[in-house]
């Protein structure tokens, strides 16, 4: 999974307009203010380098799901304002992303200015991969840089379409993401431990199948663990079980046995009578009694998982161990997060909930790589070639 594409160093950018696909899809509060500027900060190295090399960066991003219509609350003005603060240089925020007026504004932008186009998803053709729309965007730049790892798994006009029309390269963030996952999936230091959580096992079965060829141990938590336990005949009460996936899970368990991969499942739980933040937690296990549903891994499981993680040379984590948003059921995710943070091996965290968890528990600075792309990182773990990267290769 090496980056088989041009890099920023390979592009002649001096005095040129450089279209840069960034991912400024930042969370906002009810007033529209950015509540987490991580994605804006992640784009800074590429933007600053382009400015230093005498280029005019022309940034393209989506925000939310406007479904091809102009939605005032999904304009990129707050991201542009924050970017200008972080850069300390002018950011020209445009109200459109195509057309003659946009072309003229870019041409007139003084040297040292970064241009931010309006939300690309205000055009329905973006998500549809419309070639004509991609051609309109291509008119705005002399070359293209994809630095939006979080959108690299989408064959959209602003991600892949433009890359096929202009000299293209990966940005510094894209390079960093690919390098981190390559270090996990290609030639990792062993032992390799993968930690998978989240609600539904169906969302992670392809990941499990691919990782069983690459890891030494797999730790399973979250709602998906109960389908694994049920597949082994363990009673899980009213916990979430995807019965239609039981055969697939049994096949995964058998593959792990053949490969010599240790799959670790919860041996105890925190369970509740109802799915609610204030539901009283009952410690139980390994079985969960009828009328109770598992909402977090228990203390014995936390200790066992931490021990496995401590001995790892490479760790990749995607998905929480329980309903960590609720304080009563956050302990399992926090324990795993602290074990990953303390691990002396190379550690990667991907997936929105896992990233939110390490931020929530103040552990982010102790993780070697925190991915900016939930869906993209998941597809990499599945072994998928991301179309946004493949388009750069073709270019």
DSSP-derived pairing of the beta strands 269-272 and 293-297: antiparallel
> Is residue 190 flagged as an active site residue?
no
List CB contacts of 94: < 8 A, sequence separation 6 or more.
102, 105, 115, 116, 117, 118
> Is residue 352 flagged as an active site residue?
yes
> Residue 311, Cα to own-chain centre: how many angstroms?
26
> Is residue 200 flagged as an active site residue?
yes
> Residue 264, Cα to own-chain centre: how many angstroms?
24
Sign of CA dihedral 83, 88, 94, 97: negative
Measured CA to CA, the distance from residue 344 to residue 315 in angstroms comes to 10
List CB contacts of 233: < 8 A, sequence separation 6 or more.
none
Instruction: Work out the burial of residue 295: count CB atoms within 10 Å of its CB; fewer than 13 is exposed, 13-18 middle, 19 or more buried.
Output: buried
Q: Are residues 266 and 286 in contact, defined by beta-carbon separation less than 8 angstroms?
A: yes
Partners of residue 93 on adjacent β-strands:
116
Catalytic residue among 128, 129, 375, 383: 375
List CB contacts of 186: < 8 A, sequence separation 6 or more.
1, 2
Partners of residue 260 on adjacent β-strands:
none
Task: Count CA within 13 A, CB hemisphere, residue 393.
Answer: 11
Catalytic residue among 7, 41, 139, 200: 200
Q: Are residues 97 and 118 in contact, defined by beta-carbon separation less than 8 angstroms?
A: yes
Catalytic residue among 352, 373, 374, 388: 352
Partners of residue 34 on adjacent β-strands:
28
CA distances from 29 to 22, 24, 26, 35, 73 (A): 21, 15, 10, 6, 11
> Is residue 375 flagged as an active site residue?
yes
Catalytic residue among 39, 121, 154, 172: 39
Active-site residue set: 39, 200, 352, 375
């Amino acid at each position: 999974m090496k980056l088989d594409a041009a890099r920023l160093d390979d592009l002649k950018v001096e005095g040129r307009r450089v279209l840069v696909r960034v991912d400024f899809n930042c969370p906002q509060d009810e007033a529209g203010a950015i509540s987490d500027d991580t994605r804006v900060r992640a784009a800074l190295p590429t933007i600053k380098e382009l400015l230093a090399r005498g280029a005019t960066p022309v940034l393209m991003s989506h925000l939310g799901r406007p479904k091809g219509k102009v939605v005032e609350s999904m304009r990129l003005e707050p991201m542009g304002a924050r970017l200008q603060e972080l850069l300390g240089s002018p950011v020209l925020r445009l109200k459109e992303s195509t057309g003659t007026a946009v072309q003229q504004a870019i041409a007139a932008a003084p040297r040292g200015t970064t241009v931010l186009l309006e939300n690309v998803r205000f055009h329905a053709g973006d998500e549809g991969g419309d070639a004509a729309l991609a051609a309109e965007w291509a008119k705005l730049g002399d070359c293209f840089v994809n630095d939006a790892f979080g959108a690299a798994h989408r064959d959209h006009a602003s991600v892949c379409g433009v890359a096929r029309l202009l000299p293209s390269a990966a940005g510094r963030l894209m390079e960093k993401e690919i390098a981190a996952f390559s270090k996990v999936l290609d030639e990792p230091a062993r032992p390799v431990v993968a930690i998978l959580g989240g609600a539904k096992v169906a969302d992670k079965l392809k990941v499990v199948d691919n990782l069983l060829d690459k890891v030494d141990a797999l730790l399973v938590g979250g709602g998906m663990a109960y389908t694994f336990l049920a597949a082994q005949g363990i009673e899980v009460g009213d916990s979430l079980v995807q019965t239609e996936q039981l055969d697939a899970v049994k096949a995964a368990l058998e593959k792990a046995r053949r490969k010599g991969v240790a799959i670790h499942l919860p041996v105890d739980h925190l369970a509740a009578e109802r799915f609610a933040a204030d539901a009283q937690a009952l410690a139980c296990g390994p079985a969960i009694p009828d009328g109770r549903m598992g909402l977090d891994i228990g203390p014995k499981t936390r200790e066992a998982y931490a021990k496995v993680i401590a001995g790892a040379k490479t760790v990749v984590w995607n998905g929480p161990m329980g309903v960590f948003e609720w304080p009563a059921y956050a302990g399992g995710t926090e324990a795993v997060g602290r074990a990953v943070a303390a691990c002396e091996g190379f550690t990667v965290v991907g997936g929105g909930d896992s990233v939110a968890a390490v931020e929530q528990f103040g552990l982010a600075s102790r993780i070697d790589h925190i991915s900016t792309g939930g869906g993209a990182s998941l597809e990499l773990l599945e072994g998928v070639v991301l179309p946004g990267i493949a388009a750069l290769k073709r270019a």
